Structure 1
Amino acid sequence: MPHSADSPDSPDSLDPRDSPDPQDSHQDSPDSPDSSDSPDAAESAEAWDDGLIARRVTEATAAALAAERASVLDGAGRGPGHQTPAPLAYDGPLRSRLDALRELVGLSRTRLDSHTLAEAGRVLDEAAARRKLSGRHTVVAIAGATGSGKSQLFNALAGVAISETGVRRPTTAAPIACSWSDGAASLIDRLGIPGRLRRRPLQSPEAEAQLRGLVLVDLPDHDSAAVEHRKQVDRILKLVDAMIWVVDPEKYADAVLHERYLRPMAGHAEIMFVVLNQVDRLPGEAADQVLDDLRRLLDEDGIALGEHGEPGATVLALSALTGEGVDELRESLGQFVAERGAAARRVAADVDAAAAELRPVYVTGHRAGLSEDAREEFAARLADAVGATAAGDAAERAWLRNANRACGTPWLRLWHWYRRRGESATGRHLVRTQTDEEATARQRVEQAVRTVSDRASAGLPTPWAQAVREAAVRGSQGLSEALDELAGRAGLPPGRPPRPGWWPAAVLVQAAMTLLQVVGGLWLTGQIAGVMAPNLGIPVLLMVCGIIGGPLVEWGCRMAARGPARRYGQDAERRLREAAAGCGRARVLDPVAAELLRYREVREQYGRVMRTGVGVG
């Protein structure tokens, strides 16, 4: 009487083919019939197949299986349980893309939330985990809806009733793995499939050799009423190297299948088989019509079809019940597994999908960056805030005042002194509202920072635009106070403005004009007092020369001083502008530029991930 596969006394545990892999603990059991301690036990014991509905196997089949197992022994005579499967190797471009994605995630962790980077991190982790495992095996999952016949197809490929079929729904409650060759235990461990659900096919050595390296996984129904079943399907579909989607004539257009699975996985077309099962139920040419409609739906999903030698999904029609088309699927699957490229293509497709999901946070259609015009405008706004123009004008006026004091007539200087003394005494001088000026300057600085941050963040994806604005805001804290202190240091230099070389000569000429006036006045006074002989011509001429010459000398000096005064004022304005620009650059522009540089780096890394080499404009 056959035993249930889930029973602890099931003879599945005694069959040498029951072990999922030579590395599985069941094979090393001392009670196993093929144990080295009892070489005759396998011949005397009854052989059982791996199906959940157990049945006896003929001696000829058991002998063929033993011969097939012996063929995989290495040259030293060691069993396959002692072999170390060769790890998977990624080619240069894929390895470069993975490195770029890892660098991209590292550069983005401080700017993007963990949820945004979760899928990219998962792809990197799974790619690293898969790379450590066997590269000689290809893990293929059979997925389908309830009643699509996927378990029946699974049994047809294995040549034995491994997965239970029947009218009860859902039939497949847990994933079942079937390996066509040894060395796949670690791959099946990665899927979380226990040893009691691992099988070996029951076929001729020729048929088994056709699919050598294949690990076939029968999944629960993806539309199962049990939530746990759907979770298992979603989990394992992210781990397998390829997948076979089984549809039937009734549910091939099911919205759940297309919207939840096929459409989001359109980029995985090269590792996808889409099988229309149960064509024996379709009369006449109906099978071709349904198959054509299925291809149309797949094309609408964005899934490339592997027709005419082009890469894409393989679409077949078959009947797992009658065997029609199963050989064609087995042949296509054998060629697919023999290429040993499914695992790398799966990783590449996962990288494509993760990069496409990250595109909105890295790529924008606008030019990003801070233009030179924006930098100059920011510096100009800061210069206005500290009053650079007013400081230059004040420096120019100070130069002119100094020139007037040095080259003006003594009488005019005396008059100016008297006026200043009188104004100071009356107290009618203007008092500037320093508080209002500081508030206005602060507003100008804040407006300048907002403007430059808006320009720098324009065209950036939202996370990076936010990072740029935050950097500008942090830099603006204390900027107004720093500019005020800077204005005090870089404004007018202490003391009087420097004098040009011609000023001493002008002072001597002005002194001479004054002396002529004094001499002429004293001469006239002496003549009036009768002390000196009357002669009005000379003293009057001296006085007229002094009176006219003094203002002329003063006017000439003032004209000559305009150029140096203007240059002096421009130098003072330039120093203050440069100081304000340097302060703004160190506090605001440099942090903003650092954020833009980080974005440029991640954009370049993203271009390497997408294999486009795209950079920033």
Structure 2
Amino acid sequence: MVTAVTDHTDHADHPGDDEGREGSGHARVEDDFVTDRKDVRKKDFDMKDFIKRDTGKKDAGKKDAGKVGVRSESRMFGLVRVEIDDYPEKPASGDDTDGTDGIGNKGRADGAAGADAADAADSGVSWDDGLIARRVSATAEGQARPVKEAVVDSRPPVVTPLAYDGSLRSRLDALRELVGLSRTRLDSRTLAEAGQVLDEATARRRLSGQHTVVAIAGATGSGKSQLFNALAGVAISETGVRRPTTAAPIACSWSDGAASLIDRLGIPGRLRRRPLQSAEAEAQLRGLVLVDLPDHDSAAVQHREQVDRILALVDAVIWVVDPEKYADAVLHERYLRPMAGHAEVTFVVLNQIDRLPGEAADQVLDDLRRLLDEDGIALGEYGEPGATVLSLSALTGDGVPELREVLGHFVAERGAAVRRISADVDAAAARLWPVYANRRQAGLTEEARDEFADRLADAVGATAAGEAAERAWRRNANRACGTPWLRLWRWYQDRREPPTGRLSVRTHADEEATARQRVEQAVRTVAEQAAGGLPTPWAQAVREAAVRGSQGLCEALDELAVRAGAPVGRPPRPGWWPVAVLAQAAMTILQAIGGLWLLGQVVGFMSPNLGVPVLLMVIGIVGGPGVDWACRLAARGPARRYGLEAERRLREAASGCGRARVLDPLASELLRYREVREQYLRVTGVGV
């Protein structure tokens, strides 16, 4: 039976002990005690004599290292652990080696994983979160009594997923809808950040809502690892003058159930630790997962990449600055200023105030607050939401209890994750503002639509077609109601000057070119009116829709002009038209009768009587033009209505063609923009 006194550090840090126990084949009983040395001296159990006996056999232990387990004594932060090992002798092997990990703690060589598995099986303890450092339990009574096997519940703790409130859920749904509606109009780079926010929000929602992940970030030599160790109460992260000291992120959890959160950060099991086990610390910081990051200004590129990656995943950040680099432009321009909207989940700690004499610490702290205000970071100094700014010394411990208390309240609220996601949504919305916010009311007014229809009607010659229809109606009326002598003269004129055809063909070609130019100008004008005030991507989409609709528009308008022009055949005749024709025929007959009568008198066929035939001829000669004049006056109204009807039909045909090919696609783009703008307003939390 060999008794050893060690600290509560995980057996992974003592590969020699693990390998010795692995080969023993005997059961091992292990109890961990956490107590203060002063309290132990007061107990009846004489720990001092026990340690003396153990250390007095130190040389013998070295000589008989191959026969019995090596005794060890560790007094770190006032913690001791008692192990009672009972195993047979084992020859010492010269192949046993110790390894050292990247943070200065001893690690196993080959076969260390098997030793851990054996220890876990022997002790009957199951660790769901993969932390190397084991949880210990303190047993202190008035009298010493035999060590008993600890009874530990091996069931994994119940993890409650994170719950978003109604407002944040609505904003996330709106952002998801916004991204979906915008994929065909915006490039993937513009929507990349919004998509990443949605992915991270979905991933974080599935994980524990009872834990808060806080990262400690800072520049080289700022003392963030010292602060990490001071908060944990145990030297977990390596500190030193070598730069950079922290090469990989280290996680420390104050409670179980944070394995999935740490897995999300990509921190392996060998870099996961437990803080100093204390009932007061557990009650104060229960649910905290603290992550020590590499230097953000490290010369190693992979260190900076790790910092940027983890900062996008944690719930809150503690920025540690020192009196020399608190105004570093890299820190303010690359991190603090872009994350000004995350002030509620940001802590800024001025470390190493023990190096500042007198009131210099207060002066530096005031200047730091001034710089943060210039960065746009709201400071929660009077109870309002904002960043927390503190000063402390991780080396001397001055100010660390205040930070621990503030962290305790912050973690106890269980709202950091929701505030972080909400701030991420705000940041994504702010970056999307140029592609969704319009400068003025967007859309096509009725005046713009009517103007476009008028331009198309002018392009197809609707007004000219109406005037031509009116002239055609009048010409038909003149032919029906005019005197025969006038119709004969017009027929003679038409036969005398026949059209050559060359001038009309050239005029048609010129008119067609002019009409095409008018159509293109009308499309450009309405597209600019529709795109006015829109963000650049949506204005470009509106113009492209107008260009696509204008293809083939001129040909379609020509076909409509032919079909919707004046109807084939003669214009319709009003009711008085037959009466006018009969009256004109009567006047012609009177002229004929009077002329024949006078001719009969001249040849002696009839008795001389000039009064009646002359009267008949005068009535016919005067009455014919009179009837023609009356018909012209009566035909003005019907001819005008006929021309307007023809112009209306052509205008409606041109407007319908332009609406189907140009205005409807423009309206669809404007409707899509209005929809995404409403979703964007929901994302910003303003509402519609």
Q: TM-score, normalised by structure 1?
A: 0.90
Q: Any conservation in 1 of the 2:341–2:427 contact (CA below 8 Å)?
A: yes
2:336 aligned residue (243, 252, 262) = 262
Q: Could you say if the C-alpha distance between residues 106 and 8 of structure 1 is closer, same or farther in structure 2, counting changes exceeding 3 Å? A: farther
Matched, 1:104 2:110: no
- CA, structure 1 residues 364+39, in 2 after alignment: closer, same or farther (shift >3 Å)? closer
Aligned to 2:638: 564
Structure 2 CA distance, aligned partners of 1:445 and 1:522? Answer: 63
CA drift of 1:405 comes to 0.9
Counterpart in the other structure of 2:202: 128
Q: Take 1:184 and 1:245, find their aligned partners in 2: how far apart are those partners? A: 23
Please list every run of at least 4 consecutive aligned residues from structure 1 whose deviation after the TM superposition is greater than 4 angstroms. Answer: 1-8, 10-17, 26-34, 39-42, 426-430
The verdict on how the C-alpha distance between 1:139 and 1:422 changes in structure 2, with shifts beyond 3 A counting, is same
1:593 aligns with 2:667: yes
Q: Which residue of 2 aligns with 1:23?
A: none
Superposed CA RMSD = 2.8
Note the C-alpha offset of 1:420: 1.0
Please tell me whether residue 575 in structure 1 is matched to residue 581 in structure 2. Answer: no
**Which of the numbers 542, 547, 550 marks the counterpart of 1:476?**
550
- The answer to whether 1:544 aligns with 2:550 is no
Within the candidate set 292, 296, 307, 1:222 is matched to 296
Deviations 1:325-348 (A, max 9, x none): 101100100110000000000000
Percent of aligned pairs sharing the same letter: 77
Q: Is the 8 A contact 1:156 1:323 kept in 2?
A: yes
Measure the CA separation in 2 of the matches of 1:117 and 1:249.
40
What is the Cα deviation at residue 9 of structure 1?
A: 3.5
- Structure 1 residue 108 displacement after superposition: 0.5
The residue number in structure 2 matching 1:337 is 411
Compared CA separation, residues 385 and 40, structure 1 to 2 (3 A): closer
Which of 390, 399, 406 is the matching residue for 2:473?
A: 399
Distance 1:32 1:156 in 2: 31
Question: Is 1:431 paired with 2:431?
Answer: no
**Aligned partners of 1:30 and 1:37 also within 8 Å:** no
Distance of 1:327 and 1:285 partners within structure 2: 21
Q: Given the alignment, which residue of 280, 283, 293 partners 2:354?
A: 280
**1:236 lines up with 2:310 in the alignment:** yes
Where does residue 565 of structure 2 map in the other structure? Answer: 491
SS in structure 1 opposite 2:644? Answer: helix
Q: 1:546 to 1:237 in 2, by over 3 A?
A: same
C-alpha distance in structure 2 between counterparts of 1:277 and 1:319, whole Å: 5
Secondary structure at the counterpart of residue 136 of structure 1: coil
- Which AA in structure 2 matches 1:602? V
Q: CA deviation at 1:422?
A: 1.6
Which of 459, 469, 489 is residue 533 of structure 2 equivalent to? 459
> Is 1:196 aligned with 2:202?
no
Deviation at 1:417, TM superposition (A): 1.1
Once the two structures are TM-superposed, the CA of residue 603 in structure 1 deviates from its matched residue by: 0.8
User: Please, which of 483, 503, 511 is the counterpart of residue 409 of structure 1?
Assistant: 483
Give the equivalent residue in structure 2 for 1:72. none
Mapping 1:360-399, distance limit 5 Å: 360-399=434-473
Q: Cα deviation per residue 1:45-97 (whole Å; 9 max; x = unaligned)? A: xxxx968xxxxx9xxx9433999xxxxxxxxx993642330100000000000
Letter in 2 for 1:579: A
Contact 2:11 2:116 in 1 (8 A): no
- For 2:140 and 2:641, the matched residues in 1 are separated by 103
Q: 1:312 to 1:560 in 2, by over 3 A?
A: same
Deviation at 1:35, TM superposition (A): 3.5
Distance in structure 1 (CA, Å) of the matches to 2:162 and 2:140:
28
TM-score, length basis structure 2: 0.81
Q: Does 1:9 align with 2:82?
A: no
* Structure 2 residue corresponding to 1:354, chosen from 428, 438, 444: 428
- Gap regions ≥5 residues in structure 2: 1-5, 22-29, 33-110, 142-150
* Match in the other structure for 1:504: 578
Q: Which has the higher contact order (CA 8 A, sep 6+)?
A: 1
CA shift, 1:534, in A, is: 0.9
The change in CA–CA distance for 1:6 and 1:574 in structure 2 (over 3 A counts) is: farther
Check the 8 A contact 1:33/1:41 in 2, yes or no.
no
Asked if the contact 1:370–1:456 (Cα under 8 Å) also holds between the matched residues in 2, the reply is yes
**CA-to-partner distance for each residue in 1:409-434, whole Å, 9 max, x for gaps?**
1111111111112222x849952422
Aligned equivalents of 2:399, 2:187: Cα separation in 1: 49
SS of residue in 2 equivalent to 1:501 = coil
Residue 445 of structure 1: which of 508, 519, 526 is its match? 519
Q: Distance in 1 between matches of 2:303 and 2:180?
A: 35
Partner residue in 1 for 2:592: 518
Alignment-mate amino acid for residue 492 of structure 1: A
Aligned-partner Cα distance in 2 for 1:100–1:154: 39
Q: Distance in 1 between matches of 2:10 and 2:415?
A: 37
Q: Which residue of 1 aligns with 2:286?
A: 212
Report the AA paired with residue 340 of structure 1: R
How far apart are 1:509 and its partner, in Å? 0.5
Question: CA–CA distance in 1 between the matches of 2:423 and 2:112?
Answer: 36
1:367 counterpart SS class: coil
Residue 66 to residue 344, structure 1, CA distance change in 2 (3 Å): farther
AA in 1 matched with 2:596:
L
Native 8 Å contact 2:12 2:112 kept in 1: no
1:70 aligns with: none
Task: Give distance in 1, aligned partners of 2:367 and 2:380.
Answer: 16
Question: In structure 2, how many angstroms separate the alpha carbons of the residues matched to 1:236 and 1:28?
Answer: 27
**Residue of structure 2 in register with 1:71 after alignment:** none
CA distance in 2, matches of 1:274, 1:188: 23
**For 2:317, what is the secondary structure of its paired residue?**
strand
Residues 138 and 342 in structure 1, CA contact (< 8 A), matched pair in contact too: yes
Matched, 1:156 2:230: yes
SS of 2:252 mapped into structure 1: strand
Q: Deviations over 1:543-595 (max 9, x none)?
A: 00000000000010011101110111011011101110110010001101111
1:64 aligns with 2:138: yes
Per the alignment, residue 83 of structure 2 pairs with: none
Distance across 1 between alignment mates of 2:219 and 2:18: 28
How far 1:31 sits from its partner (Å)? 4.3
For residues 298 and 561 of structure 2, what CA distance do their matches in structure 1 show?
75
Answer whether contact 2:126 2:155 (CA < 8 A) is retained: no
